[in-house]
Chain A
Amino acid sequence: MNTMRLTESAVDTDIKITAKDVQVYYGDNHAIKDVSVEIQDKTVTAFIGPSGCGKSTFLRCINRMNDTIDVCRVQGDIKIDGEDIYDKRVDPVQLRAKVGMVFQKPNPFPKSIYDNVAYGPRIHGLAKNKADLDDIVERALRRGAIWNEVKDRLDAPGTGLSGGQQQRLCIARAVATEPEVLLMDEPCSALDPIATAQVEELIDELRKSYSVVIVTHSMQQAARVSQRTAFFHLGNLVEYGETGQIFTNPVDPRTENYITGRIG
């Protein structure tokens, strides 16, 4: 299966996100050091590494969620489609509409399932009327692979769903605003194996339309869902390449130590 993906990913080489010499500081703590990476479009890219290695921090740089943390400073260039997202003219709100995010813990709004998904399109004015909005919600829920489970109870609160359903609802909410990049911060860490399998299947499906970046603690998951993998260690990007190559033939000894379970 991995070999098949290798050939597949060799086809699309469009670069979606380019990061160059990115430094992130939390106060005096230098959390990300000189990270340069090129993330491809229509690809699932996995960030792996031990806890505290900066993979989530780097992920949050891509949609500027780190702006909400007062002590956090970001230096260096991150470009999406050649545009510097840390340019003064860029409004982070607009950026986040383009770069959706799914969080570690399912965090549906304490509102109805419908309102959860409709919120993004509503604030961005994506729907002209109610019927339009209904369509968007249905499409998003179908893409979140949860439509069949909730279509009869769209008015029920989103918080009443099971953990796996909540996470898929959050993914549906993220795709409802038609983003170009989807960031996922350990989306399955709070889920059981069955829900995890459903979400992973969904991620593979989403790859057709988006550039997906996923942070995960599970190396098996990275191997299963991603085409490219980046290994972070102590704030450094140690190795970045085809998933198959990272897991079968790592160049750096630290990568090898990590994937064989000797560090982390």
Chain B
Amino acid sequence: MSNPDQTPAVAKTSLLKLDARTRKRNAAETRFKAYGMIAIGMGLLMLVILVFNIVSRGTGAFQQTFVTLEVELVAAKLDKKGNRNLDDIKKVSTFGYAPLLKDAFEAKVAVAGIDTGIKPKQMAAILSKSAAAQMRDFVIANPDMIGETVAFEFLASSRVDGYLKGRVSRDSIANDKKISPEQLDFVDQLVSEGSVTKRFNMSFITGSDASDARPESAGMGVSMIGSLIMMMVVLVLALPIGVAASIYLEEFAPKNWITDIIEVNISNLAAVPSIVFGILGLAVFINYMHLPNSAPLVGGLVLTLMTLPTIIISTRASLKSVPPSIRDAALGVGASKMQSVFHHVLPLAAPGILTGTIIGLAQALGETAPLLLIGMVGFIASNPPDSIAAGLMSPNSAMPAQIYEWAKRADPAFYERAWGGIIILLVFLVSMNTIAVILRRRFERRW
């Protein structure tokens, strides 16, 4: 019989020698750390692969091949009556300009002494289809220049551009009707002569979408404006509504089953697939309220619905994180509930609210699915809108929708532009998130 009060005798062990249990525990810890490092390493590797892929495929879109060509603006063709009347000049369509390009190439070949077997028409085919229109725009803007010889910088056709970027080779164009090996030889000669060059292409960032016939002139600019207008709508609507709703729910609303249901629903709404909001927008804003199709206003409204739960949840979290002692202090000196919220709680919660709003906006900026349903995905080669009102109501696309549109087109030149568009979109998202981090750091207060 042993005495229960007596502690059992423990064998004396050395601290310098690890026992089996400790070794096992240490091994488990080491293994766990290794798993963690492997997981992080995999994540980083994926990120590197992603960034490398995007950059290597997308940077091409920011460069474009240009052909410098001196064109004589023959008066006999562009202004037959010779009176420089703008209305008469406008009657000459781009077909009237096309022969000038052929003549210009013929002259160029003669001057530079390039020996080529192809016909002038084929020479002109290395230019983009937009070349004639570019010339016509220039002439209409400067009618005085008719009769002069002007040096133009034309976009090269997407095949030529692809050839210079290495996307198109003589093998790959074996069955291509748009370009022949002889034309590529001619391009080579022009490159060595210096009139075909590759340089940074601003119009990819500022321009509008273009049809299948001329991928080389397609740009993100107009869809970027569409996205920005949508974000403005989201900010103007979602921020005040979201903040007001959260303040009411967090500070004023009684805690009963009705507010419980509202709370649960808000959390659920945050998880609703965005396409559901899209079909809601289609049903309510377009079919019922008869707002225009494809308009950024409608897109903004749909994205507002989608962003609201995110903003409400983050705003409530940041209101909750303000210590109750601050509210007590304000009430204790005789502030009303509203004064205590607006003078003390809200300023302290502001950085969190801002961060949540920016994250919500970034989410909305990258959203494509709801735009499918309200018609903001599609070929919308509109010009930049003249005013904000026009921008709200006139059909437009959005950055992710534009990228989707390009990615599904057959021509590989558009594929490159889709990757380029992704770079622009990511630049926007990363800078928004950076702003969110900076704001949080900057306005964070301790108490």
User: Are A65 and B328 in contact, CB atoms less than 8 angstroms apart?
Assistant: yes
Contacts of B255 in A (CB 8 A): 70
**Does B39 lie at the interface of the complex (its beta carbon under 8 Å from any beta carbon of A)?**
no
Contacts of A103 in B (CB 8 A): 325, 328-329, 332
The contact string, 1 if C-beta is below 8 Å from chain B, for chain A 154-177, is 000001000000000010011011
Contacts of A177 in B (CB 8 A): 333-334
Please, which residue of chain B has its CB at the minimum distance from the CB of A122? Answer: B343
Range for the number of chain B residues in contact with chain A: 20 to 34
Contacts of B325 in A (CB 8 A): 103, 105, 107
User: Are B329 and A120 in contact, CB atoms less than 8 angstroms apart?
Assistant: no
**Does B91 lie at the interface of the complex (its beta carbon under 8 Å from any beta carbon of A)?**
no
User: Are B254 and A101 in contact, CB atoms less than 8 angstroms apart?
Assistant: no
User: Are B348 and A110 in contact, CB atoms less than 8 angstroms apart?
Assistant: yes
B255, B328, B330, B333, most chain A CB atoms within 10 A: B333
Contacts of B348 in A (CB 8 A): 110
**Does B336 lie at the interface of the complex (its beta carbon under 8 Å from any beta carbon of A)?**
yes
**Does A119 lie at the interface of the complex (its beta carbon under 8 Å from any beta carbon of B)?**
yes
* Cβ contact of A109, chosen from B329, B331, B336, B339, cutoff 8 A: B329
Q: How far is the CB of B391 from chain A (nearest CB, A)?
A: 41
**Does B257 lie at the interface of the complex (its beta carbon under 8 Å from any beta carbon of A)?**
no
User: Are B329 and A107 in contact, CB atoms less than 8 angstroms apart?
Assistant: yes
Scan residues 116-172 of chain B and give those whose CB is less than 8 A from a CB of chain A: none
Q: How far is the CB of B240 from chain A (nearest CB, A)?
A: 24
Please, which residue of chain B has its CB at the minimum distance from the CB of A170? Answer: B329
**Does A63 lie at the interface of the complex (its beta carbon under 8 Å from any beta carbon of B)?**
yes
User: Are B336 and A93 in contact, CB atoms less than 8 angstroms apart?
Assistant: yes
The contact string, 1 if C-beta is below 8 Å from chain B, for chain A 51-95, is 000000000000101001010000000000000000000000110
**Does A97 lie at the interface of the complex (its beta carbon under 8 Å from any beta carbon of B)?**
yes
**How many residues on the A side are at the interface (Cβ–Cβ under 8 A)?**
28
**Does B447 lie at the interface of the complex (its beta carbon under 8 Å from any beta carbon of A)?**
yes
Scan residues 302-330 of chain B and give those whose CB is less than 8 A from a CB of chain A: 323, 325-330
**A63 to B332 Cα, complex, angstroms:** 8
**Does B202 lie at the interface of the complex (its beta carbon under 8 Å from any beta carbon of A)?**
no
A109-B344 contact, Cβ under 8 Å, with A103-B325, A159-B446, A159-B447: yes
**Does B445 lie at the interface of the complex (its beta carbon under 8 Å from any beta carbon of A)?**
yes
User: Are A96 and B331 in contact, CB atoms less than 8 angstroms apart?
Assistant: yes
**Does A108 lie at the interface of the complex (its beta carbon under 8 Å from any beta carbon of B)?**
yes
Contacts of A96 in B (CB 8 A): 331-334
**Does A123 lie at the interface of the complex (its beta carbon under 8 Å from any beta carbon of B)?**
yes
Q: How far is the CB of B341 from chain A (nearest CB, A)?
A: 12
A119-B447 contact, Cβ under 8 Å, with A65-B328, A103-B325, A110-B348: no
User: Are A101 and B447 in contact, CB atoms less than 8 angstroms apart?
Assistant: no
A97-B333 contact, Cβ under 8 Å, with A109-B344, A110-B348: yes
**Does B335 lie at the interface of the complex (its beta carbon under 8 Å from any beta carbon of A)?**
yes
**Does A128 lie at the interface of the complex (its beta carbon under 8 Å from any beta carbon of B)?**
no
Contacts of B329 in A (CB 8 A): 103, 107-109, 170, 173
**A46 to B330 Cα, complex, angstroms:** 24
Contacts of A68 in B (CB 8 A): 327, 331
User: Are A93 and B335 in contact, CB atoms less than 8 angstroms apart?
Assistant: yes
Contacts of B334 in A (CB 8 A): 93-94, 96-98, 100, 120, 123-124, 177
User: Are A119 and B333 in contact, CB atoms less than 8 angstroms apart?
Assistant: yes
**A237 to B441 Cα, complex, angstroms:** 50
30 contacts between A and B (CB under 8 A): A63-B332, A65-B328, A65-B331, A68-B327, A68-B331, A70-B255, A93-B335, A94-B334, A96-B332, A97-B334, A100-B333, A100-B334, A103-B325, A103-B328, A105-B325, A107-B323, A107-B326, A109-B330, A109-B344, A110-B326, A110-B446, A110-B447, A119-B330, A119-B343, A123-B333, A123-B343, A159-B447, A170-B329, A174-B333, A177-B333
The 10 closest A-B pairs by CB, nearest first: A97-B334, A120-B333, A107-B325, A101-B332, A96-B334, A107-B329, A93-B336, A110-B447, A110-B445, A70-B255
Chain A residues with CB under 8 Å of chain B are 63, 65, 68, 70, 93-94, 96-98, 100-103, 105, 107-110, 119-120, 123-124, 159, 170, 173-174, 176-177
Chain B residues with CB under 8 Å of chain A are 254-255, 323, 325-336, 339, 343-344, 348, 445-447
